[in-house]
Structure 1
């Protein structure tokens, strides 16, 4: 039944969804027009805000690229590939492959979003080489696991409000992760999605006669042979001692940072952890650089599109458009329903501002005073914004770019299935945020 429901969505997406870069251009025109017509800002001022906003997130853009690259390099280490290949031998049918790839992707995304994106798609390719299964649904299933990232260990919102001197600390103080990530309502959402999403993805699998199968030979990664070292320079490049030593040195630093200095998980520490683990497990500089060259292909979309999204974010914030959208939802809220409306407004804003940290900067000054005024639970409202951001990533092509690049697909190949996932997971998250106590 679900497969029949997904068909019209799939056909509609295949027909009308452009390339993600064209999508952001069309989105730019729409936001500029709405900001001009719906806010007091003049067209010239909107244009100036947009043009100057391109460079607001260069540091963050580099961090996102590094998260992706380091996540890919770690997932592409011999130890990780061996583990994924061993697990990929378990399924004996396409349905089992769909169930397994969803669970693996969700667990990896809960640990770290960049790691989850890469592990999910690499595991999907390993499964497609062993089991006959619709490749589109397999990749859509691997991407769907990404929905849990903001409720996991790398979630921008819960990590931000748990950090001393965060930008809203004077309003709400420090909220530790026991009240957000490990709160009962958040754990119940995670468990519910872990149960329902694999079953949903299995139900989306078309009959065998309608499946799109990719030949295993097209998915095999051609290993790049590193020639035997014949010069001093090549021997240094391939030295396992040199690579392993610098990797272990970095890991020792992180151990001191987390244990002795009581350091916290943040973007920089996560990047460092993945980088030094990658160097250690790849052992030599030559192996690491080979993996890096493959990883860079998947970051092209982030590099070219993130400046456009930074410009859109500037327009949304400085013209007051984002505040108006969020305030509109808040005006119809009370203490119990504020998390629900915060979730829905975050999902809408995420289409135009696909950055968890950036979106929190937009919505926190609005939802937090409202929560205080209405007497709503602050951690729950904050996590509602986090889940809204993660939820509509299912149909926001931006974060699918690295997955699609590695898989060799287009956005329109998976977005029809992602739409069905969006409706079902949205209902689950909304119900949990509304009726499960904090």
Structure 2
């Protein structure tokens, strides 16, 4: 346990020195994609539009490319995700409300009291996080954190020496397998022809068709993998 703790501290310090803030990383990746589009991007739609308005010999200049990129990002690209983003927000809010409900909170407390030591406390936290993740990723996200907090309080009261970084990691293990559960976005969207068309495009969606839950979430492969986790 001490060796694992020292390794964890070393990894945390190393990544803390070199890993940027998530917002900085998002901005940097956006600028990288913008630069790549200018240098090696292909502009068939913009070229066709300019050919109709200014003649076939006109090629997109930097200003036209920048305008098309901004329109693709903020005009037509970003706002296509509003319905999906609202679905995720609703799932997170409802998952939080469910995890904070008194019966669920009592169940979380009861689950933590099953532990007989710090190792079993970590194992129980991971088990319930994964079980909740197969039901809903938002429930696992919030419920796992609440279980970890209750586990830390129980460990303090009983005088156990608990490695809290490992406990926190166990609380979020449900996020490893949630997409194989009932809230997996891709398996659910694959059951609807309209959603498949929005994701894959009309031509590819017509060739692939829809995929039932029996062939995805409830397939033997997914059940074995999710059960193994």
> Which TM class, normalised by the smaller chain length?
0.7 to 0.9
Which residue number in structure 2 is paired with residue 30 of structure 1? 32
TM-score by length of 1: 0.41
Match of 2:71?
48
Q: 1:164 to 1:30 in 2, by over 3 A?
A: closer
2:18 aligned residue = 16
SS at match of 1:56: helix
Aligned to 1:159: 188
How far is 1:126 from its partner? 0.9
RMSD, matched Cα: 2.3
1:25 CA drift (Å): 1.9
Q: 1:183 aligns with which of 219, 223, 227?
A: 219
Partner of 1:106: 130
Equivalent residues of 1:88, 1:126 under 8 A apart:
yes
Match of 2:53 in 1: none
Q: Is contact 1:32–1:47 with CA below 8 Å preserved after alignment?
A: no
> Is residue 178 of structure 2 the alignment partner of residue 149 of structure 1?
yes
For 2:50, the equivalent position in structure 1 comes to none
- Deviation, structure 1 residue 82: 0.6
Distance 2:33 2:7 in 1: 31
SS at structure 1 position matched to 2:80: coil
Q: 1:179 to 1:11 in 2, by over 3 A?
A: same
Gaps of 5+ in 1: 195-438
By how many angstroms is 1:4 displaced?
5.7
Alpha-carbon separation, structure 2, partners of 1:147 and 1:157: 15
Measured in 2, the distance between the counterparts of 1:167 and 1:85 equals 42
Structure 2: 5+ residue stretches without partners: 44-61, 156-160, 198-204
Q: Deviations over 1:179-219 (max 9, x none)?
A: 11122221222233x2xxxxxxxxxxxxxxxxxxxxxxxxx
Equivalent in the alignment of 1:201:
none
Residues 77, 29 of structure 1: alpha-carbon distance in 2 compared, 3 angstrom cutoff: same
Greater RCO between the two (CA within 8 Å, min separation 6)? 1
Distance in 1 (CA, whole Å) between partners of 2:209 and 2:74 is: 35
